[in-house]
Amino acid sequence: FRAAVQEHAEKLAATSDRPADGKGIALNPLNASVSEAGVEYSSVSLQIDRARRVATIIVRAPEGDLPSTPEAIHAAGDQFWPLRAFRELDDAILRLRQNDPEVGVIVLKTTGDPEKVLEADRILLEHKDFWLAREIVNFMKRTLKRVDLTARSLFAIIEPGNAFAGSLFELALAADRQYMLDDPDQPNSVRLGPMNAAVLPMSNGLSRLQVRFLYDPKLVDAALALDGEVDPQQAMDAGLVSFAPDELDWDDEVRLAIEGRAAFSPDALTGMEANLRFAGPETMETKIFGRLSAWQNWIFQRPNAVGPKGALTTYGSNERAEFDYGRT
């Protein structure tokens, strides 16, 4: 059996265009500063408010010149911004999963120059036949899928100075809701790019735009055709964001939305969110994470539903359900 596996692996490896003598890169430990309040990385911040059961992840756009040739990308190694930032994002999500199961809402924010994000995307796609660029894009895809598969409520908060563009706009599309401030005195916009065109697919094989506009696929092309900065009203008209409150309603609307979501039954939220995130065709991944785990094993059998203080047990009584807020 070992010999057969080895032979099959060698045949598959022979079909790769990666040079047999190509030199890899080292994935060094992340330079993370950990405290009770969260974790600071070079391109990502994780802030945790355990009293409110809310975490905020902020991804920063690259600064300075980016390597633009295969040789320069290889020389930059794990410090090339797309790889570094998405490794840090991956680590932040895993820390929340393992260390803070009671954090129910993850707020996603970005900051920096969106043009630099689009430049990084262009470099990766321009060199898509270079093995390292391809591996970095695949890692970005896997990290975003991990965000999709995280059983927490995801809210994207789009404020002036954000860097929701291209690959980072995928984070906003991965969220269950997008709130975008609409204030004429504070210009605010998002940007789409080639990375939003099915380069980073979800577990069902569709892009996040395709899932968002499953009811009318023509809207995907319309969204991708938006050139340049997309302001709050344009984003609402195009269906790219959920809400665009003005400056008078912004603080209260965002606060109430986050507090309200954090108060619901975590099992019910997991089931509803997983099913909404994975509309469209079924794959093995969506059957496991979007259906079996989320529904059969979470909602109807756990103490949050049928325990002494569960939602189904207390339904119709004068008692209020008490939930275990732990989520994965």
Mean per-residue pLDDT of the chain: 92
23-41: pLDDT as tens digits? 899 999 998 999 999 999 9
Rounded CA Rg of the chain: 21
> Could you write out the DSSP letters of every residue in 81-149?
HHHHHHHHHHHHHHHHHHH-TT--EEEEEEES-HHHHHHHHHHHHHTTTSHHHHHHHHHHHHHHHHHHT
* pLDDT computed for residue 294 by the predictor: 62
Number of domains in the chain: 2
66-103: pLDDT as tens digits? 999 999 999 999 999 999 999 999 999 999 999 999 99
d(CA 119, CA 133): 14
Residue 2 domain flag: no
**Strand residue runs (E) in 136-250:** 153-158, 177-180
Residues 70 and 100 in one domain: yes
CATH number where 37 lies: 3.90.226.10
- What tokens does 321 get? 């359900």
- The residue whose two tokens read 């990502």 is 44
Residues 280 and 170 in one domain: no
224, containing H or E segment: helix 218-224
259-285: pLDDT as tens digits? 999 888 887 888 788 878 888 899 998
Report which of 187, 188, 184, 202 is spatially closest to residue 157, judged by C-alpha positions: 188
Residues 326 and 279 in one domain: yes
% the chain with pLDDT above 70: 97
The answer to whether residue 297 scores a pLDDT higher than 60 is: no
- The residue whose two tokens read 């959920």 is 242
Residues 254 and 273 in one domain: no
Beta strands 153-158; 54-60: pairing state: unpaired
- What tokens does 137 get? 């894009």
d(CA 146, CA 139): 11
Residues 195 and 172 in one domain: yes
Domain, as residue range, for 279: 265-328
257, containing H or E segment: helix 250-263
Residues 189 and 71 in one domain: yes
d(CA 165, CA 176): 18
* pLDDT computed for residue 304 by the predictor: 75
- Secondary structure (3-state) at 242: coil
Last residue of a domain, one of 214, 242, 263: 263
Q: Rounded to whole angstroms, what are the CA distances from 217 to 107, 207, 221?
A: 28, 11, 8
Residues 159 and 60 in one domain: yes
> Do 55 and 106 meet the contact criterion of CB atoms below 8 Å apart?
yes
Residue 136 burial by CB count (10 A; 0-12/13-18/19+): exposed, middle or buried?
buried
- The residue whose two tokens read 């706009």 is 169
Q: Please provide residue 180's backbone torsions phi and psi, each rounded to the nearest 5 degrees.
A: -125, 120
d(CA 30, CA 328): 23
Report which of 45, 50, 71, 47 is spatially closest to residue 60, judged by C-alpha positions: 45
* pLDDT computed for residue 289 by the predictor: 78
